[in-house]
Amino acid sequence: MTTATFTLVMVLPLPDGTRSWPGKLMEAVPGIEVLCPEGPEDVGAALGRADAAYGTRLFAAVRRR
């Protein structure tokens, strides 16, 4: 049996209640890779690898590309 893998991008800044999510998700979900790009120049590359994305500033990050 193989484990499906997928990549989630969490665009910073994360709301207070979600800052611990990346670590918790990687512990709880087999096969997940969580990326938290540090700067606007890294968001585009991360989103290019993503299967899903989360963030309150996601659209602003995409528009800057």
Q: What pLDDT was estimated at residue 20?
A: 93
Confirm whether 14 is domain-assigned. yes
Contacts 24+ apart (CB under 8 A), 40-47: 40/64, 43/9, 43/11, 46/9, 47/9
Q: 7 or 65, which is more confident?
A: 7
Confirm whether 20 is domain-assigned. yes
Which residue range(s) make up the domain with 29?
A: 6-63
The predicted-structure confidence for 28-52, as pLDDT tens digits, reads as follows 999 999 999 988 788 889 999 999 9
Confirm whether 57 is domain-assigned. yes
Q: How confident is the model at residue 1 (pLDDT cuts 50, 70, 90)?
A: low
- Distance in angstroms (rounded) separating the CA atoms of residues 19 and 34: 12
Q: How many domains does the chain have?
A: 1
Backbone angles phi, psi at 32, to 5 degrees: -90, 140
